[in-house]
Chain A
Amino acid sequence: MTSDLPVVLVIEDELAVRRFLRVSLSAHGFRVVEAESGETGLSLAAANNPAVVLLDLGLPDIDGVSVTRRLREWSRVPVIVISARGREDDKVTALDAGADDYLTKPFGVNELLARIRVALRHAHGSASADDATLQLSGLCIDLARRTVSVDGREAHLTPLEFRILALLARNAGKVLTHRQILNEVWGPGHAGENHNVRVHVAELRKKLEADSTRPRRLMTEPGVGYRLRDREDES
């Protein structure tokens, strides 16, 4: 039965994009429910219990950020926002409003599937957050002993760097905005002081990456934040 398949709710007004998403997601084992507007999307979300919501930020009726907020009032379903290049602020707003990840148009199907996989994993396997050690792409992070090893060699991190890395690692594969990192690590009252995060991430990179100008693990999402890659093959 199709109903056994995980449901992806696509809230997008462009027919062409919906068609591409329907075809490619169906081929990869999802059931696609489509909504052309924000209001329809919200009611379909209530009716269909989707596993993931793909939300376009430029909707004809209400903007995507409002949809995210309203959805978050009653649901923890992973939301991946889709928006055009150059609208980084919208993405950050949506992420801070509770969206889980984002995709920039145009995007390839592999990128889309990777995001969905990460979102699903975080939604279901939240148990990983309780693990004492996190292992990803050559990094081994021991949360209890606060140690990190890179490709088997121990890296010496400051407590602050460790907390940033731990935060990114618990959300591996997901983007975190500067604001989210500031809030989690520095605490409230540091809004807008993004350079704190940037400086420490740069330090972190020097310790974790072979070449800090060609990062393989700690990726910058320009204008949005950072993402710790959880799998080497991710594009």
Chain B
Amino acid sequence: MSDPVPRPDPDAVLKRVQHEEARAARAKLKIFFGFAPGVGKTYRMLQVARDLVIEEKPVDVVVGLVETHSRFDTEALLLGLEILPRRAVAYRGRTLDEFDLDGALARRPRLLLLDELAHTNAPGSRHAKRWQDVLELLDAGIDVFTTVNIQHVESLNDVVAQITGVQVRETIPDSILERADEIELVDIAPEELLARLREGKVYLPEQARRAADQFFRHGNLLALRELALRRIAQHVDDDVREFREQHGVVETWPAGERILVCVGPAPSSARLIRSACRMAAGLRAPWVASYVDTPALGGMSEPDRVRLEAHLRLAESLGATIVRLSGTRVGEALLDWARKQNVTRIVIGKPTHSRLRDRLRGSLLDDVVRGSGEIDVLVISGDDDGPRNESPEHTLQDAVPAKSWWLATALIAGTTAIAAILHRWLHVPDVEMLYLLAVMTAAVFLGRGPSLLAAALGVAAYDFFFVTPVLTFRVADVRFLMTFAMMFGVSFLLSELATRLRRQERDARAREERTAALVALSSELGSVVALPDAALRVARLAARTFDASAAVLALDASGKLERIAAHPANAGLDSNELAVSRWALENARMAGAGTDTLPGARSLAIPLGPTREPIAVLALIRNAAAPLGADQRGFLLAFCRQAAIALERTVLAERAGAASVRARTEAMRSSLLAAVSHDLRTPLAAITGAATSLRNVSELGAGSQRELIETICDGAERLERLVTNLLSMTRLESGAVALRREWVPLDEIVGSALTALDKVLAHRELRAVLDPDLPLLAVDPILIEQLLVNLLENALRYAPEGALEIRAKRCDGEVEITVADRGPGLPPEVRARPFEKFVRGAGARGPGVGLGLAICHGIATAHAGSIVAEPRAGGGTLFRVRIPAGEAPPLAAPAEDRAP
């Protein structure tokens, strides 16, 4: 039976719970929102804060910064509240009182009051804007009360300017309003506000007096108040929507709206962006700001570039996603992307140029509207379309070196000389073709300006020398005017084409370089598994690509910011720059030169890693003083994203490695258990059996008694050997073995190894051939003895017959010890991994768990040596151990020749 009652999706419920938890955990932001100065925001904020302080369980409230403007009633509210000392900042001979962010973070109150959210901090502060301070406070878990007026809200900035005619420069991004947990509208009737203004109760700075008259008009105030109420309603609406979602109320809005706004360098774009933002907020739809890079636009002038970048940043700060597209035609590229991404509305500016230009170069608007199909296109006016310097003519001139002008002149002079020769002596009639050739050459190779110069000079020279009347500039035949026009036309057309080609080529090369850098990065990082290695490659490539010194920094275990890689290797950061990197890492945001945070720093710090918790930070100090261009910046971000992925991968790989070590440990533990259960129990069973027989049966013959006793002794020996091996293995593996290196002659170690095996070796032939010139070895003699004993035991066990042989010789910087037998050789199942734990040959005789050779391997490795097993010529197995030899210390003579 189906359930008719719609139930909330379990995933959604889970998400809601997580969301509520996150909300409860994170610090709260409350904004006291006013529609104009003087409505009493500060007063209201202090009132609310006071209530919290005088409650039964007082909240720890600290006043970060509040402007009372010496108003008695406001100051009265401050009595009894803790006030954070302000930070004095020297700026151009004046001292500015600023909010002390570090002081607040150190004091860590439960709640901090901070007036004037839209305030711009004094230069040299950590953040450019106070709202950034607030975000950092919230991130640090401190609740914040703050105040702001409607005219400071970024998306409403231009609307307010339209209403009041006053442009406000200090703005806050809308996202901070979204971030607010509570917005309280401090409302007052416009009449009352005007009355207070007249009574002088509203503080206005001196320079704002004049503007104030324009601002505080009854009509304006009414409009602003309505705007504020609407904005608050929107926030409330968000809350309602959230509530609905959380409580299973069906979504009312058909999902899937998506807005695309086309951004360019024209100043009107800012307005477009704000409109799109408002629209997106109204529709609660995601929105995208896109910019299309075309070959023609590639030569954009620097001011245009800066403006475009500012627009894109504005859009980003308003919550848009930024997309940089490229294509030959703007309209096509936009529509392509829009269709792929299911964009439902495109916002585009009204064209401001002449219709003629559209005829000539095609209209973007026309392209978009015609090609849009299902997509709505909204055309919005750009009211302040300022002069634009994006025409290619201007940009080209910059690129032309002075030499080209001289070359153009010389070309025409040369052409004139040749033409004169041809005309005079060879009687060639039409030399204008020769000039045309020269002009074309200039157009193709020298750029537009020089080619036009060539055309002008060519026309002049042709006219002067070859057109009758000769040696005057007069023209008898109108026909020649055609020739002149043609020469100009050709030079213009060709140079335009050539320029465009060159630019396309240049762009293609730049793009190619970036792609190559990204490809290089990904291929360089592809194989890396260790974080320091990856970091070094990132630093090296970043330094090369961005012409800077680069360092990758990360927090070490003790929370200290440590440089894990740098290029050039000596690239260091002083404590100031380290602070920038630390801030970027802790706040997961870019900081330093060219950003809004700590812009005075020399370095630019970009966090690398997952968005919320970066693994490391890339600090760049550019060699060139100029800031990064718009496209370079975008490229830098792409670069860092890729680097971040690689670094994250190494971290994950390390974790995976740790997991696989754990898995191997687990596997080893189980084989150990198996070994222990069998190999410990077998001798124990023998001992127990023999001992109980001896205890119970008193009338055993002497022979039987002796046999039983031998059994017990053998079993005990086996156990002893097993326990020793297990212990050695465990200690070698856990790293608990500290090598006690001493300078030892190898003969001594071989001697004690053979002594230890004296009993078992009694019946076997063994040759020990040690070169007489063997150096002393810096080894742990006990461990090396164990290594030899294990190798010999192994040989005894697997090669039941034939002579054993130990040899040792010097071998370029190492001493090579070989232990050889004449046994059957390594069985195939063991050959691949003779030194692995618990691996035993099938032909194994006697007890053992397959630890002996593993221990040998462990010991050799601990001595920075090596061990290999190979088939011996003539049959058998040969183990080759190599131990590095060092420079032995000199021998000491006795202090005095004392009597023995």
A interface residues, Cβ below 8 angstroms from B: 85-86, 88-89, 106, 143, 146, 159-160, 162-163, 166-167, 185-190, 193-196, 198-199, 201-202, 205, 211-215, 219-220, 222-223
Q: Which residues of B contact A194 (CB under 8 A)?
A: 742-743
Q: List residues of chain B with CB within 8 A of the CB of A86.
A: 727, 731
- Give a binary string over B799-841; 1 marks a CB under 8 Å from any A CB, 0 the rest: 0000000100000000000000000000000000000000000
Asked if B751 contacts A213 (CB within 8 A), the reply is yes
Q: Which residues of A sit under 8 angstroms from B632, Cβ to Cβ?
A: none
B724 within 8 A of A: yes
Structural contact, B891 and A199, CB atoms closer than 8 A = yes
Closest CB in chain A relative to B742 CB, distance in Å: 6
Given contacts A198-B745, A222-B781, contact A205 B751 (CB under 8 A): yes
B894 at the binding interface (Cβ < 8 Å):
yes
Known: A195-B742, A195-B889. A186 touches B751 (CB 8 A): no
Q: Which residue of A lies closest to B786 (CB)?
A: A222
Q: Can you list 20 pairs linking A and B with CB atoms under 8 Å apart?
A: A106-B720, A146-B900, A163-B900, A167-B900, A185-B894, A194-B742, A195-B776, A195-B889, A199-B745, A201-B748, A212-B751, A213-B750, A213-B751, A213-B770, A214-B768, A219-B752, A219-B755, A220-B748, A222-B785, A223-B740
5 further A-B contacts with Cβ under 8 Å, apart from A186-B894, A186-B895, A219-B752, are A187-B895, A188-B895, A213-B768, A214-B751, A222-B782
- B716: interface (CB < 8 Å): yes
Count of chain B residues with a beta carbon within 8 Å of a chain A beta carbon: 34
Known: A185-B894, A186-B895. A199 touches B770 (CB 8 A): no
Docked complex Cα distance between A204 and B889 (Å): 20
Residues of A within 8 A of B727 (CB): 86
Kindly provide the distance from the CB of B790 to the nearest chain A CB, expressed in whole angstroms. 14
Closest to A214 in B: B754
The interface of chain B, by Cβ under 8 A from chain A, is 716, 720, 724, 727, 731, 740, 742-745, 747-748, 750-752, 754-755, 768, 770, 776, 781-782, 785, 806, 888-889, 891-892, 894-898, 900
Report the Cα distance A162→B782, complex, angstroms: 27
B752 touches A222 (CB 8 A): yes
A193 B751 Cβ-Cβ under 8 A: no
Residues of A within 8 A of B785 (CB): 222
Chain A min CB distance to B729 (Å): 13
7 interchain residue pairs of minimum CB distance: A187-B895, A195-B743, A213-B768, A220-B752, A166-B900, A202-B745, A163-B900
In the complex, A54→B776 CA distance in Å?
A: 36
* Contacting residues, chain A, for B782 (C-beta < 8 A): 88, 222-223
Kindly state the separation between the CA atoms of A21 and B758 in the bound complex, as whole angstroms. Answer: 26
Q: Which of B716, B740, B891, B896 contacts A196 (CB under 8 A)?
A: B891
- Residues on B with C-beta less than 8 A from A223 are 740, 781-782
Nearest residue, chain A, Cβ from B750? A213
Do B751 and A220 touch across chains, with their CB atoms under 8 A apart? yes
B812 to chain A, nearest CB (A): 23
A199 touching B900, Cβ below 8 Å: no
Considering only CB atoms, which chain B residue lies closest to A88 in the complex? B782
| Shortest distance between the CB of B890 and any CB in chain A (Å) | 10
- In the complex, the chain A residue whose C-beta lies closest to that of B752 is A220
Alpha-carbon distance between A143 and B731 when the two chains are bound, in angstroms: 46
**A188 proximity list for chain B (CB < 8 A):** 895
Instruction: Decide: A186 and B750 in contact? CB cutoff 8 A.
Output: no
* Shortest CB distance A225–B (Å): 11
Closest to B742 in A: A194
* Residues of chain A lying within 8 A (CB to CB) of residue B716: 106
The reply to whether B889 and A202 form a contact with Cβ atoms under 8 Å apart is: no
A-chain residues with CB within 8 Å of residue B731 when the two chains form the complex: 86
Residues of B within 8 A of A106 (CB): 716, 720
Complex Cα distance, B888 from A213, in Å, reads 22
CA distance A70 to B754 in the complex (A): 38
Alpha-carbon separation in the docked complex, A39 to B894 (Å): 41
**With known contacts A106-B716, A195-B742, A198-B743, A215–B751 Cβ distance under 8 A:** yes
Q: How far is the CA of A66 from the CA of B440 in the complex (A)?
A: 105
Residue of B nearest to A192 (CB): B742
Distance in Å from the Cβ of B734 to the closest Cβ of chain A? Answer: 14
On whether the beta carbons of B892 and A205 are closer than 8 Å, the reply is no
A85 / chain B contacts, CB cutoff of 8 Å: 724
> Known: A166-B900, A222-B781. Is A213-B894 also a contact (CB below 8 A)?
no
Distance A143 CA – B900 CA, assembled complex (angstroms):
8
Of B720, B752, B776, B889, most A-chain CB atoms within 10 Å: B752
Least CB distance from A216 to B in Å reads: 9
Residue of B nearest to A84 (CB): B727
Which of A189, A190, A198, A215 has the most C-beta atoms of chain B within 10 angstroms of its own C-beta?
Answer: A198
- Per the bound structure, the CA–CA distance linking A190 and B891 in Å amounts to 11
Distance between Cα atoms of A202 and B776 in the complex (Å): 11
- Please give, as numbers and ranges, the residues of chain A lying within 8 Å of B770 by CB-CB distance: 213
In angstroms, how far is the closest chain B Cβ from the Cβ of A203? Answer: 9
Instruction: Return chain B residues, CB-CB under 8 Å to A195.
Output: 742-744, 776, 888-889, 891
C-alpha gap A204/B755 in the complex (Å): 17
| Interchain nearest-CB distance for A197 vs B (Å) | 10
